[in-house]
Structure 1
Amino acid sequence: MRELARRHLGKLVATVALAVTGAAVAVGASLPDDTGGAGDAARAGASQQDAVAPAGKVEAAPAEGEKGVGRDPLTDAEIDRAGQLAVANNNLRRNARDVEGDRGPQHLSTNLTEIDPGLTGAGAAQRRADVVSYDYKSDSVVTKTVNLDTGKVEDTRTDQGVQPPPSQAELAEAAQLLIADRLGADLKSDYKDATGKQLTDAGQLQVSGMVFRKETVVKVPVGLTDCGKHRCLRVVAKVKSGPWIDTRALVVDLSERTVGRLS
C-alpha cells in the first residue's frame, strides 16, 4: 500500500446505464538538446512564432433552455425539477436515509426515460425522467419515473441486491471513512510523503471509484461478506495535482460504515 502510483491512470467506469468521473494527466518531459547552436536557433524561431501568433477566439456556449425537446438530453432545470418531484409528498423523503445518515434518499442519477412503445401521440411526446436513488435504511435502489410535463410520478421501482455506480457524494464519504479508519494509516502516510501535509479531509483528495463486487475476488474477508446486499465501494485516491495513492486493497462498506482489507 506504501507505493505511490506515479503512472497515468484512466478514468475508472462502472456502467449500468449510469456512470462516474476522472481524467488522464498529461505530463511533459524536457529533453536535452545536443544540436548546439542549431537547437538554440530553432527555439528562438519558435519563440518568435509564438509571439506573433494571433489569439484564438472562444465562442460562448449557447444558452440552455428550461426544457428540452424530443430526445434532447435533460436540461439542468429538468434535472432539478425531476429530483423535486421524485421526493415530493411521499414516504421516501421522510423514511429513507442518505449516505451520511440524514433524512431522504441518496441521489445517484437522473436520466431521460426510454420511450414506452405502448404510448402514442401526445403521451409519447411527453418528457419523462428516471430518478435513481439509494436508501441506506433499507439498502435498496429506488427508481422513480416522473413526467416532467404533468408533474406526476408515474412509476416507482424498488430493488435490493442491485448496485449502480456510485455518486460523487458516496465516493467522498467513503474516502472520509478511509481517512478515519486505522486501515487508512498508509493512505495518510503516503499523502504526507507526497505533500508534506496531514490528510484530514476527503476534500484534499481527487477521488473516483467503483462498486465492489465480491464475486470478483477469490477470498472475501469476513467483514465484507454482506457486500452486494450492502453498498460497498473501492476508492481510487489521488493527491490533487499530484500522484495516485494505491488504495485498491481497501473496501468501504457504506451501509455499515466500516472498512475492510482484501488479502
Structure 2
Amino acid sequence: MTEQGEDHRSARPAGAGGRTVRRALWGAGIAVAATAAMIAVTVPRGASAHGDSTRRDTASASAAASGGQSGGPGGGHGAVTQDGAPQGPQTGIGPLTEQEVDRARAIALSHDTALHALTVRRTPGAEYLDADLVEPADPSATAPRRIEILSYDYGHDRLVKQTVDLSTGAVERTDTATGVQPPPSADETRQAAALLIKDPLGKGLRTDFTAATKGQTLTSPDQLRLRGMSFDTDEQSAPPGLDKCGRNRCVRLFTQVRNGPWIDTTDYVIDLSDHTVGRVD
C-alpha cells in the first residue's frame, strides 16, 4: 500500500530518489515501491467507525516517493516553483514551474490516448496523478524541457505515462501499464470517501461522525480531512470481493473530522473501478 495526502497539493520527494522510485513502477511491473519514511496517524478508537470506544490505535502508512494527487488541484509536481511565471524559456534541470506543468497537462489531455480515457468521475480525460521532469542527457546543454505526465485511465484500468516535449508542444511517447497502482489523487480520495459515506458499510463512519460533531450528519467528503492509500492484493491478502484490487483501482482511507478526532476507516477498501466497498479484518 502506498499513501498520498489530502485535498491540497502535497509535496513528494524531489530529485533522483523520487524519479528512481517512479521508474521502478514501470521497470518492475509490480504494484508500488515505498520509501523508508513512515507517517504515523493516531486513530482514537472513541470514533472508530466500528462502535469500539475503549481502545486507541496507531495506524502507520508508508509514504510513496512516487505519485502526486489530483485530476485537478492536488497534484504533486515534485520540485515546482511557486513564484509565478518563469522568466524566459526554461532549460536544463531546474525546478518545474506551475506554468510548465499546466501546459504539459493540457498537451497530454489533447492527445488521442487521453481523449479515449476516463477520469475517476467517468468524464473524458485520464485522471492526473503526477508530473516529473525528464533529465536531459547533457544537463549543461540548453536541451528542450520534457515532462512526464502520469495519469490513470478508468476506461481501461491502466496507468498512462505521456512524455511531453514543451518546445514542440507534442506528446512524443506514451506508455501504459496495468496492475501498477501509485498513490491516489486528491479527487480519487474524495470519490472513495463519497462511496464509503453512502455505502451500508459506512454506517459506523456516519454514526461516529455524528457523535464527534454533537449531532451533525455526514453527507460529504468535504466534512472530513482525508488521506488515501492505494490497496493491492499483491501486497496484502484480501477477502473475496476485493481480489481484483491491483488490477482495479482500490483505495483505503484515513479520515478525520475537520477540527475534530480521527475516525478509523482503515479496515475498509473502496474499489473505484467497480464502485464497491469491502472490508479487511
Q: Which residue, out of 149, 161, 168, partners 2:186?
A: 168
Q: Which residue, out of 59, 83, 99, partners 1:77?
A: 99
Give matches, 1:1-263, under 5 Å: 1-3=50-52, 12-15=61-64, 17-19=66-68, 63-65=84-86, 68-88=90-110, 90-116=111-137, 121-122=141-142, 125-196=143-214, 197-218=216-237, 220-263=238-281
Cα deviation for residue 205 of structure 1 reads 0.6
Paired amino acid for 1:15: A
Stretches of structure 1 that go unaligned for 5 or more consecutive residues are 22-60
Higher strand share: 2
Q: How many matched pairs?
A: 218
Distance 2:140 2:92 in 1: 13
Residues 57-79 of structure 1: CA deviation (Å, up to 9, x unaligned): xxxx8555265442222111111
TM-score normalised by L of structure 2 = 0.70
Residues 157-195 of structure 1: CA deviation (Å, up to 9, x unaligned): 011111111110000000000001000000011111111
Distance 1:7 1:154 in 2: 48
| Residue pair 1:212, 1:227 contacting (<8 A) in 2 also | yes
How has the CA–CA distance of structure 1 residues 199 and 255 changed in structure 2, closer, same or farther, with 3 Å as cutoff?
Answer: same
| Residue pair 2:226, 2:254 contacting (<8 A) in 1 also | yes
How has the CA–CA distance of structure 1 residues 158 and 216 changed in structure 2, closer, same or farther, with 3 Å as cutoff?
Answer: closer
| Residue pair 2:254, 2:266 contacting (<8 A) in 1 also | yes
How has the CA–CA distance of structure 1 residues 231 and 116 changed in structure 2, closer, same or farther, with 3 Å as cutoff?
Answer: farther
RCO comparison, higher one (Cα < 8 Å, 6+): 2
| Residue pair 2:51, 2:208 contacting (<8 A) in 1 also | yes
| Residue pair 2:164, 2:173 contacting (<8 A) in 1 also | yes
Stretches of structure 2 that go unaligned for 5 or more consecutive residues are 1-49, 71-81
Cα deviation for residue 9 of structure 1 reads 7.2
Distance 1:3 1:113 in 2: 49
Higher helix share: 1
Distance 1:172 1:156 in 2: 28
How has the CA–CA distance of structure 1 residues 188 and 95 changed in structure 2, closer, same or farther, with 3 Å as cutoff?
Answer: same
RMSD after superposition: 2.6
How has the CA–CA distance of structure 1 residues 262 and 6 changed in structure 2, closer, same or farther, with 3 Å as cutoff?
Answer: closer
Distance 1:163 1:62 in 2: 32
